[in-house]
């Protein structure tokens, strides 16, 4: 009896042990099969787009079985968030053990993983639609989910933007891709933007065909072509509904940082912004210099003074004194007639140097002939030189001295006009060049728009700060004028390497597509073409930027009495001195004639 019960107990234990072994082996087979399918899924994802870094979020799950097959660097983030700013590669695949496993709080890491592909292992009670909605709220759209159940060991769901429902079911053996670039076709989705309406970046106009308000300009064209490429709709003026109100650059950048607009139709400089998270890849490379008025032509009244150089005039006087002394000595071969009056007021030498006739002795000596030859040759050189200068300058007067240094700017008759915003930026950057200009020669315009309007008027009373990008527009405007008014001085630059970037929202999911489009337009030369057509666009839109408030100074080719007034005054003064000398000589001669011979003899001793 006892042995029978023992046999029965052993039989039951044997059956139970065999059942446990059988169920364990079946479970192991299921895990091996799931692991193989998961590995096949990862190989398929890698075939669609290669990745070189694997990140696993969450506590241990079936995704951890990939560690033994992984041949690439793998990072385990079991806590759901990193503590350090890791330099992840742009081609990173993220595996999450659950829909809430990824709780990244590191801002830099989130930015780098913004567009990374994600494969999420779902529990049975989580709906794919909810997961897609949660990740879409965080603007993470490359999402695929893996779910296991009894009927289908592996079910794949992939999120889809711009459609309803927001996910699709995939089979592991399907030929369709699991991850796609959703924003290459936004299906009419809205891109929020705001334009600064700064010529020639963006200019608003009404389209006669569609009856809608549109934008044109090389920055606006970049936005228009990008919207056409991704099949999106641009929403202009959703913040400034008043058409008369112009959005300032500072407002646009602030709205971008506040996530109120996606992309700003404006340009930001590397001088004004230090945080590159809200800026795209550099769009333009330019310089920031001064727009200086072209030096005016000298008036005719000052030409007579310009042609007489002080050094040359001193040389002429020295030559005059030497020739006077030689002429006096050659006449008598003696220094007896050498007096101060004969040297300073030698009639023959003075008229000879001026190219006038003078009395020539009847039987001159060879030395005297040589002196006369030198005198005539010097007269020919001097009169020809000054006559050439005078005729050339009267035909085309020379310009005033150019401004070549910042010290010259402070000493010129022009003031430097600059906006308060630009001046604050230069002071904040400790720019040494702005400190070389005297404060009393700087006119600060508080309103940036007022400064732009003043600069657009081409008022040559001021020197303006301008970038070379904006100068190209002024250069085209001056082509229709008879004479240019301003020139762009590369010697007076505050910054020779200035980057222009476009403000963009930090977490913009299609940011990489916009930067790619921007670089392709530059590569194909379209941006340069749009910039060259900016002036024609302004003319076509009926704008009148070509008019200037101050035209180049007109020089009358006819010489009037005012132009030689000081020459006539100098002539009158010289004639007065001559008359005085002549009267003095007459008086001295009359006195001598009235004196007795003995007194005259004593006066001559």
Separation CA 559–CA 578 (nearest Å)? 28
Give me the pLDDT at residue 470, please.
86
| Among 225, 205, 162, CA closest to 530 | 225
pLDDT of residue 465: 93
The two tokens of residue 264 are 């700003």
Indicate the class that CATH gives domain 15-180.
Answer: alpha beta
Fold match, 183-283+502-524 / 286-293+401-500+547-553: yes
pLDDT at residue 80, rounded to an integer: 85
Mean pLDDT of 189-195: 88
Mean pLDDT of 198-211: 80
Pairing of strands 486-501, 268-269: antiparallel
Long-range contacts for 245-253 (Cβ within 8 Å, ≥24 apart)? Answer: 246/196, 246/197, 246/449, 247/194, 247/195, 247/196, 247/197, 248/196, 248/448, 248/449, 249/196, 249/198, 249/448, 250/421, 251/194, 252/194, 252/196, 252/503, 253/278, 253/503
Q: What was the pLDDT predicted at 205?
A: 80
Instruction: Note the pLDDT tens digit of each residue in 365-419.
Output: 788 888 888 888 888 888 888 888 888 888 888 888 888 888 888 888 889 999 9
Give the pLDDT of residue 224: 92
3-class SS of residue 4: helix
Reply yes or no on whether the pLDDT at 564 is more than 80.
no
The per-residue pLDDT for range 131-184, each reduced to its tens digit, is 888 888 888 888 998 887 655 567 888 988 887 777 888 777 777 888 888 888
In this model, does residue 71 exceed pLDDT 80?
Answer: no
Residue 582 burial by Cβ neighbours in a 10 Å radius (0-12, 13-18, 19+): exposed
List pLDDT tens digits, range 466-484.
988 888 888 888 887 778 8
Whether the pLDDT of residue 493 is over 50: the answer is yes
Average pLDDT, the chain: 80
Whether pLDDT at 38 is above 50: yes
Only one residue has tokens 């050189």, namely: 381
Tokens 């044109």 belong to: 216
Q: Of 486, 483, 480, whose CA–CA distance to 554 is shortest?
A: 483
Class of domain 183-283+502-524 (CATH, top level): alpha beta
Homologous superfamily assigned to 286-293+401-500+547-553 = Periplasmic binding protein-like II (3.40.190.10)
pLDDT given at position 32: 61
pLDDT of residue 518: 93
Q: CA 228, 229, 233, 239 torsion: positive or negative?
A: negative
pLDDT digits (tens, 9 = 90+) for 268-314: 887 777 777 888 888 988 899 999 998 888 877 778 778 888 888 88
Among 43, 171, 75, 178, smallest CA distance to 118 is for 178
Please compute the mean of the pLDDT values over residues 343-367 and round it to a whole number: 79
Tell me the two tokens of residue 111: 């930015």
Reply yes or no on whether the pLDDT at 598 is more than 60: no
Cα distance between residue 124 and residue 159, in whole Å: 17
State what percent of residues in the chain have pLDDT above 70.
86
Nearest to 218 by CA among 207, 233, 203: 203
* Residue 111: closest CA among 503, 511, 501: 511
Residue 362: count of CB within 10 angstroms of its CB: 5
User: For 530-546, what is each residue's pLDDT tens digit?
Assistant: 988 887 887 787 766 55
Whole-number pLDDT of residue 334:
73
- Scanning the structure block, which residue is given the tokens 């042995």? 3
User: In the structure, what pLDDT confidence band is assigned to residue 27 with cuts at 50, 70 and 90?
Assistant: very low
**In the prediction, which pLDDT does 25 show?**
37
Q: How many CB atoms lie within 10 A of CB 105?
A: 10
Q: Are 223 and 234 in contact (CB under 8 A)?
A: yes
Residue 197 has pLDDT above 70, yes or no: yes
Q: What is the pLDDT of residue 550?
A: 56
DSSP notation for 53-117: EEEEESSS-GGGGGGGT--S-EEEETTSS-SS-----SSEEEEESSTT------HHHHHHTTT-E
How many angstroms from the chain centroid is the CA of residue 395? Answer: 40
* Residue with more model confidence, 352 or 551: 352
Q: Is the dihedral of CA 8, 10, 11, 16 positive or negative?
A: positive
* Domain locations along the chain: 15-180, 183-283+502-524, 286-293+401-500+547-553, 300-395, 564-604
Distance CA 459, CA 550 (A): 5
Better-scored residue on pLDDT, 179 or 21 = 179
Residue 500 reports pLDDT greater than 70: yes
Beta bridge partners of 500: 269, 284
Q: Which of 281, 231, 229 is nearest to 519 (CA)?
A: 281
Grouping H, G, I as helix, E, B as strand and the rest as coil, residue 1 is coil
Least confident range of 54-58, 63-67, 490-494: 63-67
65: pLDDT confidence band, cut at 50, 70 and 90?
Answer: confident
> What is the structure's pLDDT at 263?
92
CB of 223 closer than 8 Å to CB of 215? yes
């Amino acid at each position: 009896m006892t042995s029978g019960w023992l046999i029965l107990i052993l039989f039951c234990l044997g059956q139970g042990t065999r059942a446990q072994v059988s169920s364990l082996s079946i479970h192991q087979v299921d895990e091996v099969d799931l692991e193989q399918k998961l590995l096949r899924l990862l190989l398929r994802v890698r075939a669609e787009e290669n990745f070189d870094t694997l990140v696993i979020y969450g506590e241990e799950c079936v995704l951890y079985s990939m560690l033994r097959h992984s041949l690439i660097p793998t990072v385990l983030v079991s806590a759901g968030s990193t503590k350090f700013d890791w330099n992840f590669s742009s081609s990173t695949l993220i595996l999450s053990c659950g829909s809430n496993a990824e709780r990244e709080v590191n801002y830099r890491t989130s930015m780098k993983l913004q567009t990374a592909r994600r494969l999420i292992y779902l529990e049975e009670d989580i709906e794919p639609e909810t997961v897609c909605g949660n990740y879409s709220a965080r603007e993470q759209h490359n999402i695929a989910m893996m779910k296991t159940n009894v009927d289908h060991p592996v079910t794949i769901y992939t999120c889809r933007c711009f459609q309803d429902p927001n996910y699709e079911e995939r089979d592991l053996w399907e030929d369709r891709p699991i991850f796609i670039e959703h924003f290459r076709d936004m299906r009419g989705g809205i891109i929020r933007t705001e334009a600064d309406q700064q010529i020639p970046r963006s200019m608003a106009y009404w389209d006669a065909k569609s009856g809608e308000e549109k934008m044109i300009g090389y920055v606006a064209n970049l936005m228009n072509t990008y919207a056409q490429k991704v099949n999106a709709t641009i929403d202009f003026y959703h913040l400034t509904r008043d058409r008369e109100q112009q959005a300032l650059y500072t407002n646009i950048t602030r709205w971008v940082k506040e996530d109120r607009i996606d992309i700003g139709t404006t340009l930001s400089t590397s001088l004004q912004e230090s945080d590159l998270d809200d800026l795209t890849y550099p769009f333009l490379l330019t310089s920031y210099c001064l727009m200086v008025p072209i030096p005016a032509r000298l008036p005719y009244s000052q030409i007579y003074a310009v042609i007489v150089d002080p050094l040359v005039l001193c040389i002429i006087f020295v030559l005059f004194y030497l020739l006077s002394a030689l002429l006096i000595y050659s006449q008598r071969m003696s220094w007896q007639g050498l007096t101060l009056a004969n040297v300073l007021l030698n009639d023959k030498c003075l008229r000879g140097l001026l190219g006038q006739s003078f009395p020539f002795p009847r039987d001159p000596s060879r030395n005297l002939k040589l002196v006369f030859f030198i005198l005539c040759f010097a007269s020919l050189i001097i009169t020809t030189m000054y006559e050439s200068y005078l005729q050339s300058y009267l035909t085309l007067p020379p310009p005033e001295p150019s401004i070549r240094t910042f010290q010259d700017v402070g000493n010129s008759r022009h003031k430097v006009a600059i906006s308060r915003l630009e001046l604050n930026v230069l002071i904040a950057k400790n720019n040494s060049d702005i400190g070389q200009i005297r404060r009393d020669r700087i006119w600060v315009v508080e309103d940036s728009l007022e400064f732009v309007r003043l600069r657009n008027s081409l008022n040559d009373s001021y020197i303006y700060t301008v970038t070379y990008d904006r100068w190209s527009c002024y250069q085209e405007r001056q082509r229709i004028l008879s004479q240019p008014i301003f020139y762009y001085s590369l010697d007076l630059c505050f910054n020779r390497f200035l980057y222009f970037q476009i403000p963009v929202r930090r977490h913009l999911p299609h940011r990489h597509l916009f930067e790619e489009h921007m670089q392709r337009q530059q590569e194909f030369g379209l941006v340069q073409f749009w910039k060259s057509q900016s002036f024609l666009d302004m003319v076509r839109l009926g704008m009148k930027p070509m008019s200037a408030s101050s035209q180049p100074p007109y020089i009358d080719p006819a010489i009037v009495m005012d132009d030689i007034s000081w020459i006539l005054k100098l002539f009158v003064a010289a004639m007065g001195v001559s008359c005085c000398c002549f009267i003095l000589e007459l008086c001295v001669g009359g006195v001598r004639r009235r004196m007795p011979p003995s007194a005259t003899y004593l006066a001559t001793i």
